[in-house]
Amino acid sequence: MTRRRALGALASVLDPRVYLHALRLLHFYGYAHVRQVGLLTRGADVSFAPNVSFRNAERIVIGAGSHIGEYSMIWAGNSTGRIVLGEKALLAPRVTITASDYGMAAGTPPMDQPKVERDVHIGAGTWLGAGVVVVAGVTIGDGAIVAAGAVVTRDVPENAIVGGVPARVIGSRPGAPVADAESHG
């Protein structure tokens, strides 16, 4: 049995498909992170995990002191949609922000429709929990907190705490009233 395992291990190491797949992974990493990082506009002391995926980074601005967690995806639009993170924005792992949506007209597959690009603004001092999704056209106000797993489909007021799918106001930061919470909830 150990001889069979050893032969199986040797066969997997010698399989050229393993090395071809490794090259594909390196290419993706280069395309989605290494080349894109040089296109970002970012303030001082910005940090992000080495596996954050950026797209169209020339339309991404990250404010000073911000942090983007592991496996997050920050995807600006192909032509106009921008993403702006304010100072000290904190993104937990696996946050997805996109400034581009596919069309949804019946009779045509979404991937064959033109994209609709709208800017996304994430305010200063915000915190987006693990697994948060922010769609195109959304503004999240300064100091807002978005609970883990929330899907933000509309604007979030300053200092609000939002959660759920779709995200809705569930509270406010202690000592900070939420302006106009009824129209966002």
**Considering its fold, how many domains does the chain have in total?**
1
As a whole-number percent, the residues of the chain with pLDDT over 70 amount to: 90
**Does the residue 33 lie in any domain?**
no
CA dihedral 98, 103, 109, 112 (to 10 degrees): -80
Q: Which residue has the tokens 């050893």?
A: 6
- What per-residue confidence (pLDDT) applies to 28? 66
- pTM equals 0.83
Residues making up the chain, counted from first to last: 185
**Does the residue 24 lie in any domain?**
no
CATH code for position 43: 2.160.10.10
Q: What is the mean pLDDT of residues 143-167?
A: 98
DSSP-derived secondary structure for 25-91? HHHHHIIIIIHHHTT-EE-TT-EE-TT-EEESGGGEEE-TT-EE-TT-EEE--SSS--EEE-TT-EE
Provide the domain limits for residue 52: 38-173
- What per-residue confidence (pLDDT) applies to 30? 67
**Does the residue 1 lie in any domain?**
no
- What per-residue confidence (pLDDT) applies to 182? 45
pLDDT at 185 exceeding the cut of 50: no
Q: What is the mean pLDDT of residues 139-148?
A: 98
